Each structure stands twice: as C-alpha cells, then as structure tokens.
Structure 1
Amino acid sequence: MRGIERSAGPGGAVRGRAGGADGRSDTEGGDRLAMRGRQRGWTSAGSRFWVDPRFVVGLALVVASIVGVWWLVTASSRTVPVYAATRTLTPGATLEPSMLRVVDIRLGGSDAAYLSAAKPSFGDQVVTRTVGSGELVPLSALGDAAELGITTLVVEPGRRPATDVVPGTLVDLWAAAPVDEGYGSPEVIVPAATIVRSSEEEGFLSGGGSAALELAVPRSAVATVLAAQAAGHLLSVVPTEPGAR
C-alpha cells in the first residue's frame, strides 16, 4: 500500500509525497534499476556505454585464432625454388648449372637448409659428400674448395668392379704387393673413397683399355696410391656397404 503524506505549506497549501509501504521513495527504486542495468552492460540514455571486459577478451581470442589459422594455411601452401641434383654429385665436384635443376617445393620452415634457386650464386663451392640424383641439394653438403682437402685420381683395379659400384658409392681401396710370382696379403690403403665415375661412362677411358675408376680421395692419400701403382701392386675396390651409396 502506498501512503500519502500531507503537510501544510505556506498559505495553507497542501503538499504530498508518495512513498512505498516500507517508507522508501520511488527515487531509491529508480537507483536500484539503474544499478542493475549497469551490471548487465547497459546504462540509461544520456550515460556513457559500458562493455563487459569478458566480451572484449573473448572477441580478441576469436580474432587471434582466425589470424593464426590463416597464417598456417598460407605458410603450408607457399612454395620456394630450390636446386635438385640432375645426377649423382660426388665429393670434390665443383658446382655447375648443368648439375642442377630448379624445383618448386613446399618445405615449411626448412627451406633455409637447401641451396636456394632464388639467388643462384655458386662461387667456388664444391660437394663435400654424396648427393643422389634427384635429391635436393643441402647446404651442409657444400663447402669451400680450398678447405675441402679432397682430390680425384684414376685407378685400374685388377678385377672388374661389382655391378653395385656406381658413382657415389663408398669403397675401400685395397693393394697387394707383388711377391715372387704372385701377390702378398692385401691391405687397405685408402678407406672410404668415393666413386666419381667409371670407364664405362661416355668420355672416360683408361690408358690400358681395362676397367678404370675415378676416385675421390683425401689429398694425404695421393702419394700412397701413386706409390702402389708404380710398384705394380694389385688394386681392388670393395664397397663399404654393398648395394648402398
């Protein structure tokens, strides 16, 4: 029940004020309504708009997730030009354009590990380890010619090499010294030499017409190999891992 409080003003005029049953004014009720409105994220007309911080944080998370997905899709679909070997590259070989071809490939973030075709510049780079035909050329397989310490020389094994001895194959070079009418026990004079090419390849012939191999060997082993050849040692090559490069 609402009551009407009456009081006499000057001149006998009657003034009244409406109040609730508990004696609180309507003004106090309006204040409570405005407070509830502010708690729900809005204010009355003429007041500044107020936004719940949780809404802002949620919106920011949604935007960040959309941008992240877009970046991942774009990065995964991006291709970069890199070089691949057109034939087996062996240690000591100087890089030339004819050895390489450009391929566009998706590498993600690992494209910096391979020889880029975007800015081709070979300089004096040489191959330091075998790179198979068709493989991408890793920068770790290249080095400076002055620091490599590898050279090539031709040997003529006493027996025709096995069919699995191809360019890029690692072989041990064995030598057996002549003794009486035969040869003594063989020993390894160059371990882990690399086959560069064989006499069966076009444009490469041995002096005596027999099977010959061009090997990449350390410079420190050259004198040993030449001395064995001069002394008439029987030379043989044995793959370190038969059937594998």
Structure 2
Amino acid sequence: MTTHPRTKRAFWGDIRFFIGIALVILSILGVWLIVSSARETTPVLQANRTIAQGEALASDDFRVVEVSLGAVLDEYLAPQDLVSGMIASRTVETGELLPAVATADAQSGRTTNIVIESSVGLPEHIGVGTPVELWYSPPLDDAGEYDAPRILAADVVVASIPESDGMLAQHSAAIELIIDRADVADVLAAITGGAALSVVPLGAGS
C-alpha cells in the first residue's frame, strides 16, 4: 500500500484565520464604543424663560440639564461657557438648549432697548421675544388729528411688557422694545413730536 505524505497547510491560510478573528473583535469593540457614547451625557444650559434678542444672558435664566448630544456637543453652551457680557443674538425660547450661535458679545450688539407707549393697546398674543413692527401716525395739528399711519421701525423685538395683564388692552399700554440703534433717533423724534405709536405683530398685515 502506497502512502502519501500529508500536505502541510499553507502559512497564508493561518494568517487569514487570525485576520478574521481580529475583524470580529474590532466589530464588537466598535459597537460597544457606539453604545457607550450614546449613554454618555453632558451638562448644558437650558432656558427656563423666553429670552429676547439683545437681552443679557445670566445664569439665573438657565437650568443645567444632562443630555446626550454626541457630535453636536460643541454647538451648545455648557455652564462654564456662560460669561459676563454675553447677550442673545436671537430669541431663545423657554426650554431650548442654548446654542453657541444664539449668543454674542454685548459690545458687538447693534440693538438697544426703548420703552414706548402704544396708543391702541396690545394684542394678547404679543409676548417677550415676539417680532413686531413699530408704526406711527404724526400729529397734523393741535386738535388731535393724526396723519395716516406708517412704519417707523421694522424687525423690532418685544423685550418686556410692563404691567401687562395678557388681555387685549382697551387703552394705551407701555411696552419695551429692542430696536436697531440706527432707528433710535427716529423713534425718539416721533415720541417727542407727539406721534401716536402702535405695535403690529409681523404677519398681522398692514
């Protein structure tokens, strides 16, 4: 009986075996890292009230919440990121996480606050952060006649409503507005000139 020598297994076959094991291990490790990352939370700031554009940002306006943001973590502010001199560059709604793009340095702000008296009262749905237009009617004479109303300042934001009861006011009402600094002179001139001022929410029509 003729015997044949046993063929020795090629070395490259053993290498493929070990490569296969390594790939399985790397796959398991990758899944574990993804799951672990999803479970990691980071403290970030969440607004506990509506903050109007141009308002100064203070720690009392926020609460710290633990959230899992993953790759977008750097887009939101943590408690240590809030420093003196920051303002809101846009309105931040109640419950919204504070994004970095919604903040700016106060010295770079182009807006200021001014309180006006609306001659026709305020609609009930106007609140802090509401975008509005400021209209005015110049006086014609001393008899109480006024010219046709026209826009005095556009892209205005409500900062606060002093002594507002939230209902449709029947008489004049004070309101604090955030306006562009370029419009301040015109607004003050309208006030001192005795013009009738009114606030119109954007989208309400003219």
Compute the RMSD of aligned alpha carbons: 2.0
Q: Which has the larger radius of gyration?
A: 1
- Matching residue of 1:179: 140
Indicate whether 1:133 and 2:104 are aligned: no
Q: Once superposed, which parts of structure 1, at least 4 consecutive aligned residues long, lie more than 3 Å away?
A: none
Contact 1:170 1:195 in 2 (8 A): yes
> Residue type matched to 1:37 in 2?
K
Show CA shifts across 1:77-117 (max 9, x none). 11110001111111221111111110111112111111112
- TM-score for both structures, normalised by structure 2: 0.88
- TM-score for both structures, normalised by structure 1: 0.75
Q: 1:226 aligned to 188, 195, 205, which one?
A: 188
Instruction: Describe how 1:88-127 pairs up with structure 2 within 5 A.
Output: 88-117=50-79, 119-127=80-88
- Matching residue of 2:168: none
Instruction: Describe how 1:29-178 pairs up with structure 2 within 5 A.
Output: 29-30=4-5, 33=6, 36-39=7-10, 52-117=14-79, 119-178=80-139
For the residue of structure 2 that corresponds to 1:112, the secondary structure is helix
Q: What is the alpha-carbon distance in structure 2 between the residues aligned to residue 199 and residue 164 of structure 1?
A: 15
Q: 2:156 aligned to 193, 196, 204, which one?
A: 193
- Matching residue of 2:177: 215
Contact 1:170 1:241 in 2 (8 A): no
Deviates more, 1:176-185 or 1:131-140: 176-185
- Identity rate of aligned residues, in percent? 37
* Deviation of the 1:51 alpha carbon: 5.7
> Residue type matched to 1:240 in 2?
L
Contact 1:114 1:139 in 2 (8 A): yes
Q: What is the alpha-carbon distance in structure 1 between the residues aligned to residue 118 and residue 95 of structure 2?
A: 30
Flag the structure with more relative contact order, 1 or 2, with Cα contacts below 8 A and sequence separation at least 6: 2
Contact 2:135 2:199 in 1 (8 A): yes
Contact 1:174 1:235 in 2 (8 A): yes
Show CA shifts across 1:202-245 (max 9, x none). 9xxxxxx9410000111111111000001111111111135xxx
Q: What is the alpha-carbon distance in structure 1 between the residues aligned to residue 15 and residue 72 of structure 2?
A: 41
* Deviation of the 1:58 alpha carbon: 1.0
For the residue of structure 1 that corresponds to 2:8, the secondary structure is helix
Deviates more, 1:57-66 or 1:222-231: 57-66
* Deviation of the 1:199 alpha carbon: 1.8
